[in-house]
Structure 1
Amino acid sequence: MKKYLIIGSGFAGSVIAEQLSKDSLIEMWEERNHIGGNCYTERDEDTGINIHKYGPHIFNTDNVNVWNYIQQFCQMMSYVNRVKSIYRGQVYSLPINLHTINQFFNKTFSPTQAKEFIQSLSDATIDSPKNFEEQALKFIGKDLYQAFFYGYTKKQWGCEPTELPASILKRLPVRFNYNDNYYTMPLQGIPKNGYTEIFEKMLSHPNITIHLNKRFTTNDADFSTYDQVFYTGPVDAFFEYKFGRLGYRTVFFEKHTSEGDFQGNAVINYADEETPFTRIHEHKHFTPWEEHEKTVYFKEFSKETEVEDIPYYPKRLTNDIEILEKYQEEINKLPKITFLGRLATYRYMDMHHVIANALEIAQKFK
């Protein structure tokens, strides 16, 4: 029977474990005191509400195979994420849609009129956008960019939008109808009992042994005892930062509880640069099928990732890509180690991307 080592118990590692455990022995190392990575959910002691400990996760995909796969481990409840944004004391709907445009410019445009109006505002002098700001100005013009993107992006990424690549804003979600569904994917939902239940079921096979509170270092493991190692942690950490640290943004949360309903919506962005936090999420609204007298909400702040922080978003600036290429050369020399997931590949991946990739990789080892 083959033996595999998996570093990390988020979706990447857990899918691999679930897929290979039927015919193999799985050893999993997790540096935190729980499974599930950043998708971990737990009941709040003060309110009883099921909270997303590391920030909101709404499952959305157009991949039917992934959708069907995940529902083996949970009851997925239909959920539509309707995000709002506060700018200069006014509440607007996101993504920018016909209601946002009419409200912002005090108009009553039809879809065709709104499209023509936005086109008239776009910066036609920008042919090939070289950065985030130029990408936005090319498509929506200065006013909407300043209102909904400039301040929020500066807080989120900790730098001027002109320093960020245009690729971060690949598609501007501007709609010329009143659709305020934040996502465009046809399959959307939240697991009824939270995400932790999914991981518990995925990792329940007796062939899987989980070691919590076990931080990985290359000195800790004799890789020769395993048929393959699957690594889902930060790629630069694996190589002990020999070529330098890759840039990440991380987030931290300020918790508040109160009676009733605090903001009436799951997520509200704060677009003004002067407001120190990026958004507030109120978690009772992620489970509208439950009833709670109290409420819990979190103010979310963004900052640079320091040594003891959990990395969230790869920045992928020019210097980062140059460092990544050096690490990739080292990865190519390690055929018995598979790097997968957001951190190990240093790219932004939604949950469904991670799951699809892990399912594909697992097939190669069955």
Structure 2
Amino acid sequence: MKPQNLLVVGAGLSGAVIAHELAVAGHQVTVADARNHIGGNCHTERCAETGVMVHVYGPHIFHTDDEEIWAYANRFTRFRPYRHRVQTTTQGRVYSMPINLHTINQFFGAAMRPDEARAFVATRADRSISEPQSFEEQALHLIGPEIYEAFFKGYTQKQWGCHPRELPASVLRRLPLRYSYDDLYFAQRFQGMPEEGYSAMVAAMLDHPRITLQLGCKITRTEAKGFDHVFNSGPIDGWFDHALGRLGYRTLDFRRFTHQGDYQGCAVMNYGDAEVPWTRITEHKHFAPWEEHAGSVLYEERARDCGPEDIPYYPIRLVNEKRMLADYVELAEAERGVTFVGRLGTYRYLDMDVSIREALDTARLFQICGSGRMPAFAQHPLG
């Protein structure tokens, strides 16, 4: 293919992978990001006071079963072993999450074997709910009121800003419930943390002579016209100046504080009680267990609806949002020379490994199609 002059909007994982792959393929790539740093929401930096590597926009744990993506990520950084564990405080006691056999036995003051615990939970479940319509009904149908109210009700209400009975049952796609003493949060084969943080990994991806990086640069739809093709990893509704309205997101507010010593003894402590206003506290030095720090950096997280000036984190994707998204998809598919990628470009929640996989596949598709036949979406938002 004849070398193209390409624009990538966004210097997060999706944009960095696409930029790297197409620069290696011989194209000239400009990467523009409205923020003054690379890495998007997985940006990391060291705290000058404590030396702790901080996940500036909240913790990101790399986990995948995709062997190619694991090998790809390891080309740009050294991953150190890390196994994620989460604790939750509810009703004045601390339990391990996801809910496992130890959680069940501790919560009910029992010493049940796996088969006994499975049968016991089945007796608590509300089988009169034959076709659950809401998150609450789905939870009651599967686990009953005690576990639901202690571990899911308050946390979900804080996370989504509404009562769980207002959320569809599909939000609770699968119940994290284990009848073993396995307390690892993720089950994928490959798990780890980049030794020098995610921003160093992204910097390595962008370190190519055919890549030009522009930070603190917000690119408009009009300004993108001079390129042969654009890959937009920014919000799809923002590309069209919110002409049809703003897609709904939840955002996070962080209260950052430091502590001398070990504040909570774990990386993540969830808070299940509705009256506790924060959803969790993260202690960032525990995300790098190979390091030792006397001081500690912590984030107290609170979720709320995303405003125009806020950072979007979680797409809501309920009925009204999906209807608006369908209208934006129609506009996007009428565009020429633009492909929408990543979490914001496709209005989907994506784990990091999926973001890399989709970006890699998008770059490969461009090498086959070229700008003239490249679709608006390599991964369709409504698929």
TM-score of the superposed pair, with normalisation by structure 1: 0.98
Alpha-carbon distance, 1:243 to partner: 1.1
The alignment yields a C-alpha RMSD, in angstroms, of 0.9
Q: What are structure 2's unaligned runs of at least 5 residues?
A: 368-383
Paired residue for 1:144, among 140, 147, 152?
A: 147
Q: 1:271 aligns to what?
A: 272
| Structure 1 letter corresponding to 2:83 | V
Q: 2:307 aligns to what?
A: 306
| Structure 2 letter corresponding to 1:262 | Y
Alpha-carbon distance, 1:128 to partner: 2.6
* Mapping of residues 228-239 of structure 1, within 5 Å: 228-239=229-240
Distance 2:82 2:183 in 1: 13
- 1:41-92 Cα distance to aligned partner (Å, 9 max, x none): 0001111100000000010011111101000011111111110000011000
Q: Secondary structure at the match of 2:223?
A: coil
1:322 and 2:337 correspond: no
Q: 1:40 aligns to what?
A: 43
Q: Secondary structure at the match of 1:338?
A: strand
Distance 1:139 1:75 in 2: 41
Distance 1:168 1:17 in 2: 33
Total equivalences in the alignment: 364
1:118 and 2:151 correspond: no
Paired residue for 1:17, among 11, 16, 19?
A: 19
| Structure 2 letter corresponding to 1:232 | S
Distance 1:265 1:252 in 2: 21
Alpha-carbon distance, 1:121 to partner: 1.1
1:160 and 2:163 correspond: yes
Distance 1:134 1:359 in 2: 39
* Mapping of residues 49-128 of structure 1, within 5 Å: 49-128=52-131
Q: Secondary structure at the match of 1:364?
A: helix
* Mapping of residues 287-306 of structure 1, within 5 Å: 287-306=288-307
Q: Secondary structure at the match of 1:275?
A: coil
Q: 1:242 aligns to what?
A: 243
1:259 and 2:252 correspond: no
Alpha-carbon distance, 1:210 to partner: 0.8
Q: Secondary structure at the match of 2:174?
A: coil
| Structure 2 letter corresponding to 1:327 | Y
Alpha-carbon distance, 1:219 to partner: 3.0
Alpha-carbon distance, 1:186 to partner: 1.5
TM-score of the superposed pair, with normalisation by structure 2: 0.94
Distance 1:207 1:131 in 2: 50
Distance 1:245 1:46 in 2: 39
| Structure 2 letter corresponding to 1:16 | I
- 1:207-264 Cα distance to aligned partner (Å, 9 max, x none): 000110011222333x2x3221000111111111111111100001101111110000
Q: 2:216 aligns to what?
A: 213
